[in-house]
């Protein structure tokens, strides 16, 4: 385990871009964003004897506030990492034990990982569903080393991905007929899509805040999203696409790209002109632009934990499923309790704290869009 000492973000990104599971949330840009909001960034690599990078982990560390029982300690998180070949048993053991040791030496209560490692494809119990080795064996390794499946899943565990290596007609043919129809209907009803930039961040946030209040999910303040979007826009690693009808913005998506993949991280819409099906057109244009940029996969970022109508993401999933992608079920987030007693206390207190934050966050968002 070797600390990456250089402050050259381009070099770090080049080092990790070809590792298995390379992800936008492991890039230097993501670390630098989080560093502006209370996190310390620790980039590490694992090298072979010939100097070739075999694995990497961008570790984020946040100190616990003074005046609490855990004052002076911290929590650690490896967003969508570590990056490595999970079928290499010796390397897996080395990386996991190194992460455990690092958490202990730095006084962390726990370290959380959530690598983009598939454990299965397709909806469970469906005839086309299948398991994905080595996902299952990694779960056993984690358990044997003292890791536990986390009650706090930061990222979506499941998602839907689109294969962009097909030609456009093949991509359309894989879609459900209603989705294909709505994409074309949006064009007939005057929907146009334009790429945006840093000059659009205020407008994007207002639409995003409106969407959050309407659909009842928690978002952060405007300064946070402006930092995220501007950082990735300026690095040419993300792009907003804005849907307009008669020259007026009605919706948008923000698409991130890295290592040959694209992610639909943020989506936002107003209530007006929904009959034009602009959301369908936005997704199609995002896929085409990602394909033109050389991406091989488009990740629609989020699918239900339980694939039934009771899951809060079921309605969103039905929309995404119409585009003919593949359901990917990943390993999810796992914690190593470096301080077991404090970890248990933290796990009991956190759900109550998050509930209070959600209530406060929703009222604050409502206030902002009302100004």
Domains of the chain with CATH codes: 2-118+331-370 (3.40.630.30), 165-295 (3.40.630.30)
The confidence score (pLDDT) of residue 73 equals 83
- Tens-place pLDDT, residues 182-220: 999 999 999 999 999 999 999 999 999 999 999 988 899
The CA R_g of the chain, rounded to the nearest whole Å, is 21
The confidence score (pLDDT) of residue 371 equals 42
Nearest to 132 by CA among 116, 146, 144: 116
Q: Which residue is it, tokens 């992800």?
A: 23
The confidence score (pLDDT) of residue 216 equals 87
Residue 113: alpha-carbon gap to chain centroid: 13
In the sheet with 158-163, reading across from the earlier edge strand, the strands are: 130-131, 118-121, 326-330, 158-163, 297-299, 261-269, 248-258, 238-245, 191-195
The confidence score (pLDDT) of residue 348 equals 80
Band of pLDDT at residue 68, cut at 50, 70 and 90: low
- Tens-place pLDDT, residues 229-246: 999 999 999 999 999 999
The confidence score (pLDDT) of residue 366 equals 46
Average pLDDT over residues 295-320: 94
The confidence score (pLDDT) of residue 298 equals 98
Band of pLDDT at residue 318, cut at 50, 70 and 90: very high
pTM of the entire predicted model:
0.92
First and final C-alpha spacing in the chain: 50
CA dihedral (4, 333, 61, 80) positive or negative: positive
- Tens-place pLDDT, residues 75-115: 999 999 999 999 999 999 999 999 999 999 999 999 999 99
Which burial class, exposed, middle or buried, applies to 285 when counting CB atoms under 10 A from its CB (0-12, 13-18, 19+)? Answer: buried
Q: Which residue is it, tokens 């992460």?
A: 99
pLDDT over 70 for what percent of the chain? 92
Separation CA 29–CA 1 (nearest Å): 22
The confidence score (pLDDT) of residue 144 equals 97
Separation CA 12–CA 19 (nearest Å): 12
pLDDT at residue 358 greater than cutoff 70 = no
From 236-240, 292-296, 365-369, the region with the lowest mean pLDDT: 365-369
Separation CA 98–CA 125 (nearest Å): 37
Task: Note every long-range contact of 305-308, with CB atoms under 8 Å and residues 24 or more positions apart, other chains counting.
Answer: 305/157, 305/158, 307/123, 307/124
The confidence score (pLDDT) of residue 370 equals 43
Q: What is the largest CA-CA distance in the chain?
A: 61
The confidence score (pLDDT) of residue 116 equals 96
pLDDT at residue 70 greater than cutoff 70 = no
- Tens-place pLDDT, residues 172-182: 999 999 999 99
Instruction: DSSP for 315-368, please give it.
Output: HHHHHHHTT--EEEEE---EEEESSHHHHHHHHHHHHHHHHHHHHHHHHHHHHH
The confidence score (pLDDT) of residue 127 equals 85
- Tens-place pLDDT, residues 115-153: 999 999 999 988 889 999 888 899 999 999 999 999 999
Average pLDDT over residues 252-281: 97
pLDDT at residue 350 greater than cutoff 70 = no
* Structure tokens that stand for 272 in this block: 């007006």
Average pLDDT over residues 23-34: 98
pLDDT at residue 265 greater than cutoff 90 = yes
pLDDT at residue 71 greater than cutoff 70 = no
The confidence score (pLDDT) of residue 369 equals 43
């Amino acid at each position: 385990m070797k600390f990456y000492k250089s402050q050259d973000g381009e070099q770090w990104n080049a080092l990790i871009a070809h590792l298995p599971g390379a992800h936008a949330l492991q890039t230097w840009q993501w670390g630098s964003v989080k560093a502006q909001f209370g996190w310390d960034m620790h980039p590490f690599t694992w090298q072979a004897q010939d100097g070739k990078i075999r694995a990497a982990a961008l570790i984020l560390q946040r100190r616990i506030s003074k005046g609490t029982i855990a004052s002076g300690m911290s929590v650690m998180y490896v967003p969508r990492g570590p990056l490595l070949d999970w079928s290499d048993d010796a390397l897996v053991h080395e990386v996991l034990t190194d992460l455990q040791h690092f958490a202990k030496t730095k006084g962390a209560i726990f370290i959380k990982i959530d690598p983009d490692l598939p454990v299965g494809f397709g909806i469970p119990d469906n005839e086309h569903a299948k398991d994905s080795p080595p996902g299952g064996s990694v779960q056993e390794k984690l358990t044997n080393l003292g890791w536990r499946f986390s009650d706090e899943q930061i990222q979506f565990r499941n998602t839907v991905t689109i294969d962009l290596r097909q030609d456009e007609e093949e991509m359309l043919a894989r879609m459900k007929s209603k989705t294909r129809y709505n994409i074309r209907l949006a064009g007939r009803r005057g929907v146009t899509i334009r790429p945006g930039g840093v000059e659009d961040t205020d407008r994007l946030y207002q639409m995003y805040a409106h969407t959050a209040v309407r659909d009842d999910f928690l978002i952060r303040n405007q300064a946070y999203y402006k930092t995220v979007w501007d950082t990735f826009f300026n690095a040419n690693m993300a792009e907003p696409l804005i849907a307009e009808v008669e020259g007026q913005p009605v919706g948008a998506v923000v698409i991130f790209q890295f290592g040959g993949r694209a992610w639909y991280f943020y989506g936002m819409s107003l209530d007006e002109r929904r009959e034009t099906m602009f959301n369908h057109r936005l997704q199609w244009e995002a896929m085409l632009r990602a394909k033109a940029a050389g991406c091989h996969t488009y990740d629609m970022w989020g699918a239900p934990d339980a694939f039934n109508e009771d899951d809060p993401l079921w309605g969103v999933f039905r929309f995404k499923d119409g585009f003919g992608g593949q359901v990917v079920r990943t390993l999810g987030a796992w914690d190593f309790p470096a301080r077991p007693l404090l970890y248990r206390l933290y796990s009991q207190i956190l759900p109550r704290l998050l509930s209070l934050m959600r209530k406060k966050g929703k009222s604050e968002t409502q206030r902002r869009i009302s100004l």
